[in-house]
Structures are given as structure tokens and as C-alpha cells.
Structure 1
């Protein structure tokens, strides 16, 4: 899977990169620390999956999603947040999956795998 990481914290991006690149077939094609960087990444790279920090600086995630989908409609979106209430917000905006930043690494991998399967099968992950 070609993956874009969008999180304002370099340590979080580095940890996600390390975790995700352990899986065969995963490749981080771009990273972004804010909404501007994400738009630049979306213009220069085609990705299968976006790991999106729900609190990414520069623009509310709810406003980002339509713009993201208009640029790459087939890309799956996995939202990440440390705020418990963000799960309901993200689901209300139809992200494909959600993981809390406090979840164990295996939960992140499971969510990424579910997004990959759903993309291959042409359906939304559960």
C-alpha cells in the first residue's frame, strides 16, 4: 500500500513509519505536518491510504475531508486522535477507519489491513 502520513508531531510520524514499513508491501510515499503539506503531498503522490491526524493544524479535519476526497476519491482515510470524542466526529464525516493514538500498535496495523482489504474488494471497511 502507498501511504501518506499526516500528523504535526515528527515523533508520531516516525513511529508510524517504523510500524507500517514492517509490513510487506507498505510504502510511505509522503509525510505532512499540516494541511498545506498534506495538499502538496496529495498533488504530488497517489496513495492508497491516508493516516490523518484528526487535529492536523491548518484546517479542521471536517473541512479537509471533502478536499481530500475530491483529489483522490479512491484513497482510504484512517483518522488518528488522542481525543476520545474524535472517534464519533470522524465517523460522522465518513472516514474509513479510526484509531486512538493511545491504542496498541497492533490496532493500527489491524485498521490499515482492513482498509487495504476493503480497497481491494471495492467496499468500505467496517
Structure 2
């Protein structure tokens, strides 16, 4: 048996999941691209600053998932959404958590609705992977808006909205479980790794540091100021007994393979 050829030894790895990131804020786009492209099974094939460019990029690159902001100049996300849904899975990724916007996005075929600041990097990656499988995800604000509409019931438009919400919740085999799946609990997302006493928010920011994001990108992704990011980093460095981003990243990832790409500079 030892001399026999392994029939599975040359099986190529699966193709990466291909993404288009659509957001009018270039810092948010860059941050999301850096975060997602750092995963072996994900590839950002294009960025777009509005709905029209998102549609054009989808036609050109045929991605598996589009991450789509709501409020963009020109063609906004809700306007582009019905044109994107026949082509690929669409995951709303936005700061807009208003009830009517959440409901309309889901009614028009979005595979999920994530509000910035309510998910960790690992939870975003899980939602992206599940979007391709047809498993929807909602962050707490979107889930709350949808549940409120379901409870309202009533007649006329509200009854139609409730029926639409029930259809969306029943779209996937485990969709109702996902209403609470994206709670910001970094302790779960880094299970098996020492958290060094970091809080959930500090662990989230450390994950972003390890992905190569700058302070400006982290601030945009987490919807906080750069000064707040620096305060978090000071506490992270103290808890990890580190003096540079590269040293902190090495400890966080449990490796000493070499310096991170920032060359060891402090923040």
C-alpha cells in the first residue's frame, strides 16, 4: 500500500468564492477588500462605487456574492437590487437600519441584511459564505425590524409586509436560526485561540489589525473614530505585551513566521 499512488493527492482545491464589493465610501471598500481577500477561499474580483457600477461589475465578473450598500449616489442599492438578484446572491452591507429599508431590501430579494458595527469579521465571512448557499443572515437591528413587522400583522400594506417577512424567514433550511447568529461575540469566533483577556470589541479590532487594515479602515468598518481605534490599540498592545502591530499580530495568530506587512511600525 505504501507504494501506491494517492488517488486524492492531486485533487485541486475548490475555486475561491468570488465577490464584488459595492459601497460609495472608498475607505469602507478598501477595508472590506483587505479583510475578505485575506481569506484563502474568498476573492474580491471588483469594487463599485454605486449600483450601476455594481451591476456592470457583476455582468463582467459573474461573482458568487455581491456586498451591496443601500445609500449610494446615482443608482442606489435598493434600485440596483432587483437587477442583481437574477444574476447572483446579494448581501446588503450598510449603515442603514430603518425598518422600511430593511423590509424593502428583503422583499426585493436580498440574501441577508448586515448593519455595520453589529458583526465581527468572522461573522461577516460566515454570512458571505452562507449567502452563496442561500442561507440568509440578519444582524440584530435588521432582525428586530423584521420581527416587529411580523408581529404587527394587521391589514393592507402591513399584512402584505408581514406575509413577505414570513416568506423570507422560511426561505432557507436554517434561516430562522440566523436571526440571532450574528451577535457580536468574538469569544465564539476565536474559539480555540487565547484571547489574552481582550474584550469582544478589542478582539474584533485585533482581527482587523491582523488582516492588514489601517486605523482609518478599521474606524470606517467599525463605525468609530480613529482616536477610539488608537485607544483600543493601546489597550490591546498592553494585554498582548506587544509594542508593534507585527508583534501583536504574531501573538494573536499564534505564529512567529516573520514581520507583518507594516514592517513593525507602531500605529
Question: Normalising TM by the smaller chain, what interval?
Answer: 0.7 to 0.9
1:84 is displaced (CA, Å) by: 1.7
For residues 62-100 of structure 1, the C-alpha deviation after alignment (integer angstroms, 9 at most, x for no partner) is 321222234x1xx11100111221433322322101111
Please name the residue that 1:79 is paired with: 92
Higher helix share: 2
For residues 10-39 of structure 1, the C-alpha deviation after alignment (integer angstroms, 9 at most, x for no partner) is 111111111111222211111100123223
**1:50 aligns to what SS in structure 2?**
strand
Distance change >3 Å, CA 30–CA 93, structure 1 → 2 = same
Tell me the number of residue pairs that the alignment of Structure 1 and Structure 2 aligns. 120
**Larger deviation, residues 47-56 vs 18-27:** 18-27
Aligned partner of 1:99 among 106, 110, 114:
114
**1:17 aligns to what SS in structure 2?**
helix
Distance change >3 Å, CA 35–CA 83, structure 1 → 2 = closer
What is the TM-score of this pair, normalised by structure 2?
Answer: 0.41
Q: Distance in 1 between matches of 2:91 and 2:26?
A: 18
Query: Is 2:45 aligned against 1:32?
Result: no
Higher Rg of the two aligned structures: 2
Aligned partners of 1:99 and 1:107 also within 8 Å: no
Please name the residue that 1:16 is paired with: 32
For residues 82-125 of structure 1, the C-alpha deviation after alignment (integer angstroms, 9 at most, x for no partner) is 12214333223221011111223233122112113338xxx857
Please name the residue that 2:62 is paired with: 46
Structure 1: tracts of 5 or more residues without a match: none
Runs of 4+ in 1 over 6 A off after TM superposition: none
Structure 2: tracts of 5 or more residues without a match: 1-16, 136-170, 176-267
Higher strand share: 1
Query: Is 2:15 aligned against 1:2?
Result: no
